[in-house]
Chains A and B, each alone.
Chain A
Amino acid sequence: MSTYAPPQEQTAQAQHDPADVYGLMAEFDNQEDLMKACANARDAGYKTMDAYTPVPIHGLTDALGWDDNSVQRIVFCCALVGMSLGFGLMYMITMVWYPMNVGGRPNFSWPAFVPPTFETTILLSAFGAVFGMLAMNGLPSPYHPVFNNPRFIMASSDRFFLCIEAEDPKFDLANTRKFLEAQHPAEVVAVEN
């Protein structure tokens, strides 16, 4: 089948300078274990952490104790801007910049402006959804410490990762590692910045 071979498991753990550690990363081979680990980490008081999965998993952000509706807000604002710009453009063209008598109809024949206004609303909303999502996610991001785990390339195919970050106030290299190892991971690795 595939000519692709996953990298070997890391057997020996290198010693890390705590100042260089981005976080501790646990690898799971199924999403149920990951979900349980996330919920346990949240209940244990960890806050600055993220999970990495090859599929969108519903409820995973709840398990991480995290929620966000920034994309919805951005799209709503963009829709209003798109609508105003579209209708404003039609208004300015027909009333100010180029008034023209078409079959004796009023210059401000607003029902005819609805289709273009609708299209500009959709266009700006779609821009908001796509670029808003990317911006809030901090993408494009050419570098991220999680990629320093050589096994992380499996996160886009069939492995599930939980990374508790060093910035978390409760983070402690030894204790957090002990906590993660109790969650039945395949492996726990410290990733460097």
Chain B
Amino acid sequence: MPPVKIEHADVVLVQRHSNTTVTDKIAGVVLWSPTPKQWFVIIAIAFMVLQLLPFSLGNLVVQGIGLWGINSPVGWGFDIINFVWWIGIGHAGTLISAVLLLFRQEWRMAIARFAEAMTIFAVMCAGLYPVFHTGRPWLAYWLLPYPNTMALWPQPRSPLVWDVFAVSTYATVSILFWYVGLIPDLATMRDRAKGFGKYIYGFLALGWRGSAKHWHRYETASLLLAGLSTPLVLSVHSIVSFDFATGLIPGWHTTVFPPYFVAGAVFAGFAMVLTLAIPVRKWYGLEDFITDRHLENMAKVMFATGMIVCYGYFLEVFMAWYSGNEYEWAMLMNRVKGPYAAMYWALWICNGLSIQILWFKWARRSTTVLFIVSQFVSVGMWLERFVIIPMSIHRDFIPASWGMYYPTVFDWGTFIGSMGFFTFLMFLFIRGLPMISMFEIRTLVKRPAEANH
């Protein structure tokens, strides 16, 4: 494919499009344009990596969670780290589609669909971990409050029960929001598809006909969903952070956790959006829709939230000293020079140092720099959860109860397998559904009547 020359990298849509060409380009990716060979390569790799998931989880179900590296004192290992990591990645999608909708940011439109799909798949990956961490996943429904013959009920004073409510609500609302956003585009696909695809898209489009009255209610519903999702996304990661903050373990018992976790989630999520959007934009030649301005804005959000996260790290150090609490201080010293010190310092390099290059405009405009920084951030945010979770509990108040945590091949298999699962679903989505919201991009097309003004 010849390189596409970008004329106006500062705009949210390169203005050489009409409603027709927007439809042709975006629906064409799915319906008639040749699929780039990179798509086949990535989905083949992802499918192979995904096989680690049934392997490691199948063994786990048969033999029990003793296959994992968790032990006493470290009862929360990869399962909770990866749960928090994936949930955090999902948050960028909701932030882009809901918060930026409320702020009427037009650059949201080209990346929202893509990021929302990412949210759903990330939450699916996240959901795996607590379910399998129960050890008996076929009994995972015990987490829900329902009348049962044992007359048992969940204990609603616990943040772990709040988590069940928050994550299941988040998954449901994310899927609803995404599907509602898809309906008008599914109608476009129905009207353009040939053969059997016409019936599938037609079924999913629910008979949408673009009636003005329908659009009126549709826009109201979208706005209300955005207004509901905004506090929801903040509540989800706040509640995830309560899982730790309400514990008494040094390194967990901190009031800064909710805002620090939410910022970290957005930070990791934008890194993942950039990781996926940069190659996909290039392979599919979507530079007209996802311009350099989009990438720069995402880089700015990533940078700002990254700096909030760094503030959280500084505050943890400061409070360990300022509180005068010897256990807090011991926790900090254990981070700085304990057995896992390398991970603590790697965290600072990934999340603190690597993002400093984003002060420069040329770096925020360079896809190479952004892609590399995004990889650092994804690793860094994973390390942050490692630093918080096993590193806090492996050495608590009594040295006699100290221990070490080493992940096993089944921990790694589940983690890497879930990455394959995520990538596989993302690329299936790109192949089967319009990855950019066509009807929203059409509202950005400059009309002849406007051009005269």
Contact = CB atoms under 8 A, between A and B. Distances in A.
B132 interface: no
Interface stretch (B41-49, B223-231, B293-301, B319-327): B223-231
A90 interface: yes
- Is the interface on chain B under 10, 10 to 19, 20 to 34, or 35 or more residues? 35 or more
B188 A130 contact: no
A115 B449 contact: no
A54 B165 CA distance: 37
Contacts of A152: 209
B217 A126 contact: no
Contact of A56 (B20, B166, B190, B218): B218
A126 B211 CA distance: 22
B206 A141 contact: yes
A176 interface: no
B155 interface: yes
Contacts of B173: 122-123, 126
Interface centre among B18, B220, B449 (most CB of A within 10 A): B220
B148 to A, nearest CB: 11
A115 B239 contact: yes
B212 A50 contact: yes
Interface stretch (A8-16, A153-161, A166-174, A177-185): A153-161
B449 to A, nearest CB: 5
A137 B232 CA distance: 26
A68 B180 contact: no
A149 to B, nearest CB: 11
A3 B32 CA distance: 7
A102 to B, nearest CB: 6
A68 B213 contact: yes
Contacts of A139: 206-208, 214
Nearest to A91: B156
Interface in A119-143: 119-120, 122-123, 125-127, 129-130, 132-134, 136-137, 139-143
Nearest to A51: B212
Contacts of A17: none
B176 A130 contact: yes
A137 B191 contact: no
B162 interface: yes
A102 B24 contact: no
A60 interface: yes
Given A50-B213, A93-B154, A119-B165, A134 B206 contact: yes
Contacts of B155: 98, 100, 102
A122 B232 contact: yes
A113 B155 CA distance: 10
B218 A144 contact: no
A32 B184 contact: no
A68 B228 CA distance: 21
- Is the interface on chain A under 10, 10 to 19, 20 to 34, or 35 or more residues? 35 or more
A64 B212 contact: yes
Interface centre among A32, A52, A109, A123 (most CB of B within 10 A): A123
A143 to B, nearest CB: 7
B224 A157 contact: no
B402 to A, nearest CB: 26
A61 B210 contact: no
B368 interface: no
A174 B160 CA distance: 69
A127 to B, nearest CB: 8
B446 interface: no
B228 A125 contact: yes
B164 to A, nearest CB: 9
A176 to B, nearest CB: 18
B247 to A, nearest CB: 14
Contact of A55 (B28, B207, B439): B439
20 contacts: A2-B28, A2-B32, A4-B24, A30-B448, A50-B211, A51-B211, A54-B442, A56-B215, A60-B212, A67-B216, A68-B217, A94-B157, A115-B166, A122-B229, A122-B232, A126-B229, A129-B224, A130-B176, A155-B209, A157-B192
Q: Which 6 A-B pairs have the closest CB atoms?
A: A140-B206, A133-B221, A158-B19, A153-B191, A141-B207, A98-B153
Interface of B: 18-20, 23-24, 28, 31-32, 145, 151-157, 159, 161-162, 165-166, 169, 172-173, 176-177, 179-180, 184, 187-188, 190-192, 206-221, 224-225, 228-229, 231-232, 235, 239, 242, 439, 442-443, 447-449
Interface of A: 1-4, 30-32, 38, 50-57, 60-61, 64, 66-72, 75, 86, 89-90, 93-94, 97-98, 100, 102, 105, 109, 112-113, 115-116, 118-120, 122-123, 125-127, 129-130, 132-134, 136-137, 139-144, 146-147, 152-158
